[in-house]
Structure 1
Amino acid sequence: SDMQVYFPIVSRQEWGAVTPKQKEALKRSASRVVVHHTAYPSCKDLAECKTCLVSIQRYHMKDRKFDDIGYNFLVAGDGTVFEGRGWGVVGAHTKDHNSDSLGIAFMGNFSNTPSKKAIVAVKQLLQSGVSAGFLQPGFALYGHRDLGNTECPGEKLYAALPQLRSAS
């Protein structure tokens, strides 16, 4: 995609995604970003992260009956960003809040602190989304728990959200 110019994102093809059952385009650029954690163990390298992504996608599609992996993007601890549903696509990440938002998941479980690299990567991703017109310049950023009854995105990641808000 033309996003590659700004910021390297590991494409669906590269991590071995299966084709979504269907996809729905967002009607306009997203006005909100919702941050999640996968609650899976974090992954150490590309091979491990790919395996993890394939199992998250399988879980979302088979067990949760989603059309695809629920998130628009996922980020590993080393700052690698993976394409989930990608830009401009309605996700399945936050019940009743998917029609105007982008879901970004940090890979791992955040009773531990998110890495600086992951925070920086997500800030760059959001900035590139604004530049490319997929995200409104004054977007609001939430943790999943702000919009639903959940622990997600974990205590320490939730505490780090102000660092991401400074990107908007």
Structure 2
Amino acid sequence: MTLINVNLETFIRTTINQKHNVIERHKWGTKTPVANKLVKDWNFDSIVLHHSGNDGKTDPVEIEQYHMTKKGWDDVGYHYLIHSNGTIYEGRKIFHKGSHVAGANTGKIGILLMGDFDEQWWDVDDNLSKTHLAATNRLIATIKSQFPHSIRKLGGHKEYLPNKGYSCPGNQVMDKINEMRKKHGLSKP
């Protein structure tokens, strides 16, 4: 990797983080990523939306603990985690390949909407708030502006692995995703 690429990666990461007052990983994380095992990734073509699911985790530290301790991953799987109050947390640094689409992470930026957005009769779910959705849309717009020639797709996790039976990012997010694609000029995966 050349010095120009490293400087560009750092510039784009800093631009996104500053524009959205992103709480960077070193400010909230409790575990150190296994840096020597993280793989560089920069040729992004997709943004993938996720939700916490039935456990509804809304604390980035809990998500970090789950990913690194229970799943044995090298870092948090997502690049960004968005709380329902609009706060955005940095997960895995954007220049590292995520762990959020099993076997198909290359070229994909992972965004987690913290909460459970899959309505089921047997559990209490979160409601997708206007604040949560607005923060997500602002972040998508900024990411797209930083990768104007490469980001072409926006999808829910389940759309990237259609034969796996996933419901992620939940029906509440999926109900909004076509509108989001239209708003940002992105296509379905």
- Length-normalised TM-score, structure 2: 0.75
Contact residue 50 and residue 156 of structure 2 kept, 8 A: yes
Contact residue 47 and residue 155 of structure 2 kept, 8 A: yes
In the other structure, the counterpart of 1:109 is 116
In the other structure, the counterpart of 1:160 is 176
AA at the equivalent of 2:40: A
AA at the equivalent of 1:36: H
Contact residue 17 and residue 24 of structure 2 kept, 8 A: no
Counterpart of 2:40 (choices 9, 12, 25) is 25
Give the gaps of 5 or more residues in structure 1: 44-51
Indicate the structure (1 or 2) with the bigger Cα radius of gyration: 2
AA at the equivalent of 1:162: N
Q: Which has the higher contact order (CA 8 A, sep 6+)?
A: 1
Judging changes above 3 Å, is the alpha-carbon distance between structure 1 residues 10 and 27 closer, same or farther for their aligned structure 2 residues? closer
Distance between the aligned counterparts of 1:164 and 1:137, measured in 2? 18
User: In percent, how many aligned pairs have the same letter?
Assistant: 27
Q: CA RMSD in A?
A: 1.9
Q: Offset of 1:2 from its aligned partner? A: 3.7
Q: Offset of 1:103 from its aligned partner? A: 0.8
Count of matched residue pairs: 158
AA at the equivalent of 1:142: G
- Length-normalised TM-score, structure 1: 0.84
Structure with the higher strand share, 1 or 2:
1
Structure with the higher helix share, 1 or 2:
2
Q: Offset of 1:38 from its aligned partner? A: 1.1
Counterpart of 1:7 (choices 7, 20, 26) is 20
Q: Offset of 1:34 from its aligned partner? A: 0.9
Give the gaps of 5 or more residues in structure 2: 1-13, 120-125
